[in-house]
A and B are shown apart, each in its own frame.
Chain A
Amino acid sequence: MITEQMRQEIDEILARYPAGRERSGILPALYVIQREHGYCPVEEQDELAEILGIAPAEVGAVVGFYNMLHEEPKGEYHIEVCTNVPCMLRGGNRCLHNFETTLGIHHGERTEDGQFALDHMECLGSCGTAPMAIVTDQKSGEIRYFENLKSAADVEKAVDVLKSGNGFRSLERWTPEADPDNKGAADGPYLTDGMEPRYLMDRLNEPDSHKIATYEAYGGYAAARRTLEEIEPADMVDQIKESGIRGRGGAGFPTGVKWGFLPPETRPRYMVVNADESEPGTFKDRIIMEYDPHQLIEGIILSCHAIESEKAFIYIRGEYYFAYTRLEEALAEATAKGYLGENIFGSGKNLDIVLHRGAGAYECGEETAQLTSLEGYRGEPRLKPPFPAVEGLYAKPTIVNNVESICNVTHVMRHGVDWYKAYGTERSPGMRIFCLSGNVKRPGLYELPHATPLSELVNRYGGGPEDESHPIKAIVPGGLSMKLLTPDQFDTPLDYESVAEAGSLLGSAGVIAIDDRTSMVEVARRTLSFYREESCGKCTPCREGTAWLEKILLRIEEGQGLGRDLELMEYIADNIAGKSFCPFGEASVWGLQSNLIKFRGEFATQSESTNPDEIGPVLPIRPDYRPNTHEESGLRDSTFAPVGGNIVLHDDLVPGDD
């Protein structure tokens, strides 16, 4: 039963969205229900459907799509350990194993007292502080990051903090080293460094960096105030075009050019800030929102001025709860000051920003899928054209920009176009936050101009290989989707053109270093596990192909690889890339394709050494035709197996073995 109080809260949520578009509030409304029960019971899904005026199946379909919405109870504390590649490289699997040992349960299970539930999770945007886990407090719905869980002792300490009830004293990230007394104390911003002077990350280490006072003391909001008074929207669009800002989300499309696609007449126009940072190896937007949210808000005010929009949405990934609270606070501060709302800065302009939490779906980072999700549906991509700039949110012209892109707008308007173009190259101007993770000594965020050589980032800033005796053998330059670079390419300048020339893409600037301790078969398999899990399921090649590739890679890992597997995988990958509905298809296989070319020997060796006689897998006999209609057929959801130890977890998919 949705109680009166819940109903009131849900109504308030729905009121944030334009009239007639209440369905947009479905995710936050489901969070309200989930907080009450720890999951979303069907009965209340149906009640919510009634409130939203949609069919119950539409709510059920949404709940099933999003990872963070549960259909069965989790635990008082739901622990999710990242095991994606950047964490895997730094012991994510071991960390999960440590949690299993400490709690005495397998992942996918709940402790008997119902206090803890444990799951493995895809990239949580904490690659610089791996290994790590997030913990959800069911009672409040709050989420906290527990990072640097390097050892079993660290994990035990984290569990102790939770057991003692101190786990949620703060929502700011927790690390074992910052909490000597097990009181749940907060750690500050993680490693942020780079060239001086810095712009995007300049204020992060100041005390109260997230407060409006700090930001204004630094000169914040002056650019917005001046621009709204002095610069015509069209002129500002020209300036942004002139500056050459390129999208920081991954595709690198010039921001000003995108703005220029808006049809001149149609109103309203919407701005959607893509804060659904989910590309494995990318964790830059998180820190901006956590520690310098006003920089983003000023960027939104400026961008909305340029595109003449009065309503903006920040679509923030659901796991970024702390960033969400910081943004909420910052929006309230800015509104109180009259920088948001009606007649902002006395300019006669209005701007309302709605903060919208996603619920765990990588695909929602794709702009059309994000809009679909924001409208209250499953996050499936839409046909392009029409492009969002022409027909986007609620079928109105919409600009979707990444958080870092919008922050760059702030700095262009503050310092001027020429200043901006002084950094980087002609076609890749400006500073860039590089997210360095994997097997380096100092993983973290580095603000550097475009075209900084890869080796400089890795060796000078990142301190070189994590373990000097294990050189780096491969680097992903732009988030997990991108093709691998090898040591001979380490002098590639990190700008869009040079990385493309080197055969990969700069993407989201998530740079993942892989040293020679790691099996490239495992990298490939873990990558495909991610894409299999995160494929939205809409189109055939991506939905079926990623799972097929994963099954083959799992079989190779398990020691049943066959010589012909490599060609088969290439065939599958070729028929996913470019054939799928959205760019996810390419993204899912680029890494594998380059891996198969550059590290073919590793795959061959793995198969040859474990299965020299090329014995095929024992084909499971298909279950008999099952006349019992209502029998569950046992869909299994996890293909994760930890390294180290011979633990075979009960729900692992082991080919040929039931």
Chain B
Amino acid sequence: MADHVTLTINEKEVSVPARTLLVDAARMAGVEIPVFCSHPKLDPVGCCRMCLVEVDGPRGTAMMASCTMPVGDGMVVRTDTEQVRTVQEANLGFILLNHPLDCPICDKGGECPLQDQTMRFGQGISQLIEPKRLAKKHYDISDTIVLDQERCVLCWRCIRYLEEWEDKPQLGLFERGNDTIVDIQEGRPVDAKTSGNIIDLCPVGALTNRVSRFSYRPWEIERTPSICMHCSVGCNVRLDSRTHQLRRIVGRENMQVNDQWICDKGRFAHGWVNDEKRLAAPLLRKNGRLTQVQWSEALAYIAGKAAGIKEKYGADAIGAIGSGKISNESNYALQRFMRGVIGTNNIDHRDGGDVAALPTGLPALAELMKPQYGPDPQVDTVLLFGVDPSEELPVLDLHLKRAILRGGVKLIIAHARKIELTRYEGPYLAYRPGEEIPLIDSLKQAVQGSGEADGDSAAQAAAELLSESEKALIIYGPMAARGESGPGVRLGLEQLAQAAGEGTSVAYVGLDGNAQGCRDMGVLPDRLPGQFPLDDAEAKARLERLWGCTLSGSPGYSYKQMLDSQEMRGLFVNGANPAAESPDWAASLDDLDLLVVTDLLPTETAEKADVVLPAQGWAESDGTYTNLERRVQRAPKAVADPKSRAAPDWMIFIHLARQMGAAWPFTDVRSVTEEITWAVPAYAGLNWEALGDQGRQWAAEAAPSTAESIGRATAGVPAAASAEADYPLSLVTGTVLYDGGTLFGLTEQMHGMAHSATVTLNPDDAATFGVEAGSPVTVQSDQGQLEVTAAVDAQVQQGTAWIPESLPGAPVGALLNGSYTQRVKVERR
């Protein structure tokens, strides 16, 4: 078949790829055909009939739906005739017939395709004198989406999105004929994790954003192209603001990252941005109480105190915790402050030095994507190891589902929980925390054909898939690679990839929005910016030249070590909350001579601080962030609170450096971004202007080798050694999307969605322990205990207890106390 066909549209010849739909061909030729149901990202359905055009055929001229008709060679099409216009007018009349025309109070008004098309293609008058059909108006189909059945024009876009992309047909057409409505099944609200995209897709005001509704008019908002910070996918979004307030977030197309989809947390959970609980002025502890002070006083206090500690105990008595939630610029300034001004490598972040990561993240998200009319996925098999995209990286989950359903990708899942993606056919390998390495070994043996056929058919099937694959991708996350066994997991997976043959690659994905950038910036105790080992002479020389100082060569403490260690005297905590993670850590924070917490909101850690500095969030200052495929993207300043005196982290450290006698050359954030392009060779050229609105990936070849560098020995709480009899269950924890954490909790409308404070058990275990769903229970490890409610779910494997992280009222850290695995027992209260 020829690649291109030539057809005539409105007397003009155009050549388009074969199988293009007529409506798209017209668009390519610059001819607009009005549509409602047709959407380039959804399968054609042909139900709105708005796009009828004249097509000359063997049996004369016919009115054809251009959204369902593929082009043909020599086809003659007219879209501007009297007949076409008549039909468009009449059809708009039909569409508007029962539409309530409540545009003045409709959120869509002003950006509504129905309004626009009525202007352009409508008749201008109404012939209806009959009563309109009535239906349910504005009722909630989920905590975040409101449906107005009267406004709906039944284009099926929402239905198709949930079916074709989410593979969760939670909306459907109900009733029939003129009574047909879009609805949910009674008592079954929409809960797909990217359901909010149907609001963007809706061509009328039938689906509106429950969090944002009635808080803006489209013509009076400012639109800032930005990115989402909730996870490491780095979805492109648009921040809509008015009067210094963030009003709404919508998806923005980036075909390399998120197509045009974003998840519901990214879309809706932004209540914190303008929350009144935000820290707005520096606080200094005076007479035991945190008291509001001027920036100068706070900074002078910190500088003096830090200098004193350094003099008395040495630089290594001071440490800093950065964050995967703050920008590259902030992380860079923080680590430059620690290395260049304080003179220590005690710099890390949660899931930093304690996790055996790999430097380059995913090869490219686009390799996993299967856009509607785009390329097939480049990857044919995916092994997820200790990653749950549905809860951790929802848009990656969307891409994977599409790749499985439309691209034929095979999925293998190894996880401590039977995660949602296990609903697709494909081997599921269960393990308990701490058993990762034996599982990888058995997989490796099976791939090499040396394993005994011990009947573990899942491992066998997984091995077969990996061996058959031409391009397999193994993705692992921090859950599987924390602590002492981490390096073993990483090594094992690399060997597995090798065994599976050429074309198989391993990728580590961090979870926080800037997890990759945080590593790239050198917020690691054993790595310099660019992820170079401390003893990399070239990197060291480059930075010493750039910073005009001498760098310490001795490895710093990792996140966990800093918190476990009793030698620390001073600690800078930026965008982290270790006090909530472990009772022991909370206690040791009290013993510090200086604790400086920089954050958006008061936290448990801030309560213990000597100085609390108010930080600006990602929407309030320019910054760049690096996603899980090394794409550096811009998040420009979109809102500002004129009453707040919060400052971006990077600016705070510039001032602190100056207070401590260092002269940094920065004038603004762009100059920090610029310095990063010099300090990190992989970022060369990636300055603010060069990144543009779609970001740029840094070249994976620019990463240093993964050779292990010397770190300090792990100390602290030993891995659980409790007798199995006393603690029969293995504790499984991890991230859930709606965790009710600090930021999430401030979007009031989403409270109903938050994961409740529960421990989930396998039905068999629940029966054994005499526990039912809803029973109040005590979960106990030899580190501590929690009082929670029991839930029962077969997705939790036997012999394990599942408690997600960051649940308000159920801090799983109380059981772990800084360790990574624990055994627990569950008893009815």
Listed in ascending order, the chain A residues whose CB lies under 8 Å from chain B are 42, 45-46, 54-61, 64-65, 67, 361, 378, 383, 532-541, 543-548, 551-552, 555, 568, 571-572, 574-575, 578-581, 616-617, 619-620, 622-623, 625-626, 629-630, 632-635, 637, 653, 655-656
Contacts and interface: CB of A to CB of B under 8 A. Distances in A.
A45 B188 CA distance: 12
A575 B176 contact: no
10 tightest A-B CB contacts, nearest first: A537-B180, A61-B172, A575-B90, A547-B178, A551-B130, A64-B174, A544-B94, A57-B185, A535-B177, A60-B185
B217 interface: no
A540 B132 contact: no
Given A57-B172, A541-B49, A581-B46, A42 B177 contact: no
Contact of A57 (B49, B129, B169): B169
B137 interface: yes
Nearest to B167: A55
B68 interface: yes
Contacts of A46: 185, 188
Contacts of B173: 61, 64-65, 378, 537
A541 B140 contact: no
8 contacts: A42-B186, A60-B183, A61-B173, A61-B185, A533-B176, A541-B49, A546-B178, A625-B105
A65 B153 CA distance: 18
Contacts of A536: 176-177, 180
Nearest to A630: B139
Given A543-B177, A619-B129, A581 B90 contact: no
B135 A635 contact: yes
Interface string B73-87: 000000000000011
A532 B139 contact: no
B134 A540 contact: no
A300 B758 CA distance: 59
A545 B133 CA distance: 13
A633 B129 CA distance: 20
Nearest to A580: B49
A58 B130 contact: no
A581 B130 contact: no
Nearest to A626: B137
A42 B188 CA distance: 10
A599 to B, nearest CB: 22
Which of A58, A536, A551 has the most chain B CB atoms inside 10 A of its CB?
A551
A539 B185 contact: no
Contacts of B788: none
A580 B64 CA distance: 10
Contacts of B184: 57
Contacts of A578: 62-63
B19 interface: no
Given A546-B178, A616-B129, 17 more contacts: A57-B169, A57-B172, A64-B175, A378-B176, A539-B47, A540-B153, A541-B49, A544-B95, A548-B97, A552-B130, A575-B87, A619-B129, A623-B134, A625-B105, A629-B139, A633-B137, A634-B134
A656 B50 CA distance: 31
Contacts of A634: 134
Interface string B119-139: 000000001111111111111
A540 B172 contact: no
A634 B134 CA distance: 7
B48 interface: yes
Contacts, number: 168
Given A537-B173, A544-B97, A625-B102, A42 B185 contact: yes
Interface in B187-232: 187-188
Interface string B144-187: 00000010011000000000000011111111111110011111
B426 interface: no
Contacts of A64: 173-176
A575 B170 CA distance: 33
A58 B86 CA distance: 37
Contacts of B48: 539-540
A60 B174 contact: yes
A58 B172 contact: yes
A383 B68 contact: yes
A316 B49 CA distance: 31
Contact of B178 (A67, A543, A579, A632): A543
Contacts of B171: 57
B487 interface: no
A232 to B, nearest CB: 33
Contacts of A581: 46-47, 49, 65
A653 B178 CA distance: 14
A65 B188 contact: no
A656 B176 CA distance: 25
Nearest to A56: B185
A55 B176 contact: no
Contacts of B95: 540, 544
B130 A622 contact: no
Interface residue SS majority, chain B: loop
A538 B156 CA distance: 9
Interface string B323-361: 000000000000000000000000000000000000000
Nearest to B153: A540
Nearest to B89: A575
Contact of A546 (B62, B135, B177): B177
Contacts of A543: 94, 154, 177-178, 180
A637 B179 contact: yes
Interface string B554-574: 000000000000000000000
B33 to A, nearest CB: 15
B817 interface: no
Contacts of B176: 64-65, 67, 361, 378, 533-537
Contacts of B186: 42, 60
A55 B170 contact: yes
Given A548-B128, A617-B130, A623-B134, A579 B49 contact: yes
A190 B134 CA distance: 44
A538 B105 CA distance: 28
Contacts of B100: 622
B52 interface: yes
B98 interface: yes
B91 interface: yes
Contacts of B188: 46, 56-57
Contacts of A55: 168-170, 185
Which of A45, A361, A545, A580 has the most chain B CB atoms inside 10 A of its CB?
A545
Nearest to A58: B169
B132 A42 contact: no
A40 B179 CA distance: 19
Given A541-B49, A581-B46, A535 B154 contact: no
A555 to B, nearest CB: 7
Contacts of B153: 540
B131 A620 contact: yes
Interface in B88-116: 90-91, 93-95, 97-98, 100, 102, 105
Contacts of A616: 129
Contacts of A580: 49
A46 B186 CA distance: 10
A579 B52 contact: yes
A572 B175 CA distance: 24
Nearest to A572: B90
B217 to A, nearest CB: 17
Nearest to B173: A61
Nearest to A620: B131
B185 A45 contact: yes
Contacts of A534: 176-177
A317 to B, nearest CB: 16
Nearest to A64: B174
Contacts of A630: 139
B138 A579 contact: no
Contacts of A622: 100, 132
A620 B130 CA distance: 8
Contact of A540 (B63, B91, B169): B91
Interface in B32-88: 44, 46-50, 52, 62-63, 65, 68, 86-87
